[in-house]
């Protein structure tokens, strides 16, 4: 018997059909984020670098992508090492602007045609994000909630153009483009007029969303935040603000794992939100301390999120996007490890004997439920994962260190 056949039989003893699981898992899309490859720098101008607005990337590991061509080559390498279906999450600052500087209130569809063509060639769909950081008009910590009318008008125009571009992308690719809106607006210290700032943000959003696009083309998501670097005391777009705004205005909520207290259980929020929301967007990261977006690992918090999506039956209506960046290690390896870890978590959750667990819970057999959950940790999960990789024609985990190392020598080393 092969290792997969051994594992298949072991799971069948608990009523789990591994063949059905592997087929379903292959069709769950995970959005790979473009900004891991260049430390969230973007390509707006030759000297583009990460600026203010609650974003930081630490480290200076060799091999950073310094052009769109290099970034695309890196992404193609990453995609070749990822099993399953994927999308690409693109920030507005990653357009192809040529030698002329194009400010964010002037971006157009033509600046992203190259990405649409590249995505079609590589059989992935695109999602989009407005870029509300690393800009002089974001230096004081406020964008859409700014009390400076000139600043606010600039960012409103940027967001309007982002929505228009997202709808255009959706039409081009024949799949709705999710536009996620995250702004860094907030204050480092005590704020008196919290109500006033939130009223301004509501007014800005109302204007931005006045134009409606078909959901077949684009879907709006609003990303919540509890705190951030430089906004430790007050965040305008808090969880409560966006949750209420989204429900009242038929928008999708985005929950980012790194935007809450590190000890907060994000998975527990999902059953409450998905009971009322048709769809939800998740940004998966690994928070360790204050607003950190570490490379995702196959750990308990990631597994708990995946388990809740599967147990609630809402996996099909949940959009999963990755959101981490680490400039201190090989960026290709970071990408591959993070995305594969999320896929592993989904597989682990889908292999749970859910019907048997529910039966134990509903018959008040708490110990049997606990014992079965513990037993899952020692079932041959790794053999199922290896089989999934084989069926998707990608490398096994044991091969990754060599493959990523070879790419570093052959490609990344040339960028020194």
Catalytic machinery residues: 182, 223, 225, 256, 259, 283, 291, 293, 323
CA 363, CA 382: separation in Å to the nearest integer? 31
- pLDDT given at position 274: 93
393: left (phi over 0), alpha (psi -120 to 50) or beta: left
- pLDDT given at position 290: 65
* Domains of the chain listed by start with CATH number: 28-350 (3.20.20.150)
- pLDDT given at position 50: 47
Give yes or no for a contact between 159 and 220, defined as CB atoms under 8 angstroms apart. no
Q: Report H helices in 53-181.
A: 68-80, 113-121, 149-173
Neighbour-count burial for 12-21, b at 16+ CB within 10 Å, e otherwise = eebebebeeb
CA 179, CA 250: separation in Å to the nearest integer? 14
- pLDDT given at position 231: 87
Q: Which two tokens stand for residue 30?
A: 């995970």
Q: Which residues of the chain have pLDDT under 70?
A: 46-56, 290-291
- pLDDT given at position 52: 45
- pLDDT given at position 58: 79
- pLDDT given at position 408: 96
Burial class (CB in 10 A: 0-12, 13-18, 19+), 191: middle
- pLDDT given at position 51: 47
The pLDDT tens digits of the residues spanning 363-413 come to 999 999 999 999 999 999 999 999 999 999 999 999 999 999 999 999 998
The pLDDT tens digits of the residues spanning 177-201 come to 999 999 999 999 999 999 999 999 9
Q: What is the DSSP letter of 295?
A: P
CA 332, CA 340: separation in Å to the nearest integer? 12
pTM: predicted TM-score of the whole model, two decimal places = 0.95
């Amino acid at each position: 018997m092969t290792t997969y056949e051994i594992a298949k039989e072991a799971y069948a003893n608990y009523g789990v059909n591994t063949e059905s699981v592997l087929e379903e898992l292959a069709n769950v899309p995970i959005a790979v984020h473009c900004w891991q490859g260049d430390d969230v720098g973007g390509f707006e101008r030759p000297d583009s670098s990460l600026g203010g607005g609650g974003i930081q990337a630490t480290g200076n590991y060799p091999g950073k992508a310094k052009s769109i061509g290099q970034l695309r080559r890196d992404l193609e390498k990453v995609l070749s090492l990822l099993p399953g279906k994927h999308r690409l999450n693109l920030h507005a600052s990653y357009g192809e602007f040529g030698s002329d500087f194009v400010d964010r209130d002037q971006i157009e569809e033509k600046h992203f045609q190259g990405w649409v063509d590249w995505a079609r060639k590589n059989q992935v769909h695109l999602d989009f994000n407005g870029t509300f950081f690393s800009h002089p008009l974001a230096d004081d910590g406020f964008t859409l909630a700014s009390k400076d009318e000139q600043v606010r008008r600039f960012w409103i125009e940027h967001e309007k153009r982002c929505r228009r571009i997202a709808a255009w992308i959706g039409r081009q690719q024949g799949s709705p483009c999710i536009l996620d809106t995250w702004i860094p607006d907030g204050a480092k210290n005590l704020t008196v007029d919290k109500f006033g700032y939130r009223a301004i943000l509501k007014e800005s959003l109302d204007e931005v969303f006045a134009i409606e696009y078909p959901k077949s083309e684009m879907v709006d998501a609003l990303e919540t935040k509890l705190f951030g670097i430089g906004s430790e005391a007050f965040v305008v777009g808090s969880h409560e603000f966006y949750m209420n705004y989204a429900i009242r205005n038929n928008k999708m909520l985005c929950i980012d794992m790194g935007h809450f207290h590190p000890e907060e259980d994000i998975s527990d929020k999902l059953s409450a939100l998905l009971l009322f929301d048709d769809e939800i967007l998740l940004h998966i990261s690994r928070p360790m301390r204050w607003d950190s977006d570490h490379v995702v690992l196959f750990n308990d918090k990631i597994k708990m999120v995946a388990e809740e999506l599967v147990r609630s039956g809402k996996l099909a209506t949940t959009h999963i996007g990755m959101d981490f960046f680490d400039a201190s290690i090989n960026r290709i390896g970071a990408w591959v490890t993070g995305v594969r870890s999320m896929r592993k978590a989904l597989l682990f959750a889908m292999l749970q004997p859910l019907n048997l667990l529910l039966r134990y819970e509903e018959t008040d057999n708490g110990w049997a439920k606990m014992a079965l959950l513990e037993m899952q940790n020692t079932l041959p999960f790794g053999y199922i994962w290896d089989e999934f990789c084989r069926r998707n024609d990608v490398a096994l985990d044991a091969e990754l260190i060599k493959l990523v190392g070879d790419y570093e020598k052959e490609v990344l080393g040339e960028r020194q």
